[in-house]
Structure 1
C-alpha cells in the first residue's frame, strides 16, 4: 500500500494559489484538498488546475456549501455542482453531503447521484462524516452504510466525538463498520466538547490523540491488507475551529505547524506500510 498526504486549502486562502502550492510541496505533502464553492467561476477553476499541473500537485476536491434547506432545490444545486467539477481531474471528491434533518430517502437520493457520477466518470466520491450532514453521528451513519451498497466515507471522527460527547466507547459496531468503509481520513483530533483540540502536541490532549490514532491505525491496517492507496488530510482548521486567545483574539497556535506536525507524526507512525 501507499499513503498520500493532502494539505487543506482551508486556512490558507490569503495566499495565492501559486504560493500555496509551492509551500505545500516544499513541506512534503503529495497534494492539496480544496473546497470548490457552488459559485466558483470557470476562470478560477482553470487557474487552480493550471497551477496545480505546473507544480505537480495532486488535488482532492471538497464539496461543502450546498446549504439550501428545501430538498428539491438542494438536490438540483448539488447535481449542478457535480457537473461543475466534472471537467477537472482529481484523485477523488470528498463531499459534505445532505443535511441532518433530511429524511433517509432524501439523503439517499443525493448519495446515489454520487454513485452514478463515480460509475460514469471514474472519480471516487467519498462522504465526509460531518456535523449538520447526513453523517453527523456514528449511529446514524451506520444505518446508511448498512443500507446503501457502495457508500464510502471520509472518516472525520472528530465530529462524532463532539456530537456524542464521548470517544464512542459504547458504539463499537458503528465505528468498526465506518473503519471498513473509509477511503479518506481527515486527521483532526476532536474531544468530547468540541471538534478540534487546541493543540495535539501537548500532554493535555494525549488521550484524545491516542483515541483517534487507534481508529486511523485500523484503517491503515485494512488498506495494507488490500494493498491499496489511502489518502489522509491533516485538517486542523483556523477560527472558529481553532480557539482564539480571549485577551487578544489571536490564534492559540499556528494552524500550518499543527497540520505539519500531524502529517509528520503519521508518516513516522506508518513508515513501514509501503509495499
Structure 2
C-alpha cells in the first residue's frame, strides 16, 4: 500500500502560495488539498499549479461552494465547476456535494454528473451536504454501487452525538467505499477536538484511529493508494480562548502531528 499525505490550504489562505508550498514540502507532505472557489480564474489556477509543481507537490482539488437552494442553478454551477477543474492534473477531486434538503433523486443527479466528468470524484461526508449523517449516506451507498467517498467521520460523530456504536453497519459500508481520508478527530458535541495530542482527548482519537486502521488494512489487502489530508481547521472549528481570542492549539502543528502519527502507524 502506498500512502500520500496532503496539506490543507484551509486555514493558511493568508500565506503566500510560494511559502505555503515550500513549508508543506519541508514538513513532509506529498501534495496539497485546495478548496477551489467557483469564481476562481484560469490565471489563479495556473499560478497555483505552477507553485505546487516548483515544490514537487501534487494537488487534490476540493469543491465546497455551490450553495444555491434552487436545484437547477445548483446543478448547472456544479457542472461548470467540474468542467473548469478537470482541465488541470488533479490527483482526485474531493467534493462536498449537494444539500441535506435536496431529495435523493436530486443529489443522485449531482453524483452522476461527477461520475461522468472524467476524473475520480470522491464525495466528502460533511454536514449540510447529502452525506451529512451515517444512516443517510448508507442509503446512497446501497443504491449507488459506484459511489466512493472521502470519509470525514468527525462530522457524523457530531451529528449523531455519539461515536456511532449503534451504526456499525453504516460505518462498515462507508469504510469499504472510502478512497480518501480527512484525518480530523471529532467528538459527540463538535467536529474537532481542541487538541488530539493531549490525554483528555485520547479516547476520541482512539475511536477515529480504529476506523482509519480499517481503511488502511483494506488498502493494504488491495494494494491501493490511500490519500490522507490531516484536516484540523481554523476558527470556528479551532476553539479560541474566550478572553484573549488566541487559538487553544496551533493548527499547522496539529496537522503535522497527525500526519506523522499516521505515517508511523501505516508504515
SS at match of 1:269: helix
Q: How far apart, CA to CA, are the structure 2 residues paired with 1:53 and 1:268?
A: 26
- Which residue is 2:41 aligned to? 41
> Superposition RMSD on alpha carbons, in Å?
0.6
**1:222-233 alignment, distance < 5 Å:** 222-233=218-229
- Which residue is 2:143 aligned to? 147
Q: TM (normalized to structure 2)?
A: 0.99
Q: TM (normalized to structure 1)?
A: 0.96
1:176 aligns with 2:166: no
Runs of 4+ in structure 1 over 3 Å off: none
- Which residue is 1:23 aligned to? 23
- Which residue is 2:157 aligned to? 161
- Which residue is 1:134 aligned to? 130
SS at match of 2:116: helix
- Which residue is 2:7 aligned to? 7
- Which residue is 2:64 aligned to? 64
1:270 aligns with 2:266: yes
Q: What 5-or-longer segments of structure 1 have no aligned partner? A: none
What is the number of equivalent residue pairs in this alignment?
267
Q: How far apart, CA to CA, are the structure 1 residues paired with 2:259 and 2:231?
A: 10
Q: How far apart, CA to CA, are the structure 2 residues paired with 1:218 and 1:62?
A: 24
Report the Cα offset of residue 149 of structure 1. 2.0
Q: How far apart, CA to CA, are the structure 1 residues paired with 2:109 and 2:172?
A: 25
SS at match of 1:146: helix
- Which residue is 2:77 aligned to? 77
Q: What 5-or-longer segments of structure 2 have no aligned partner? A: none
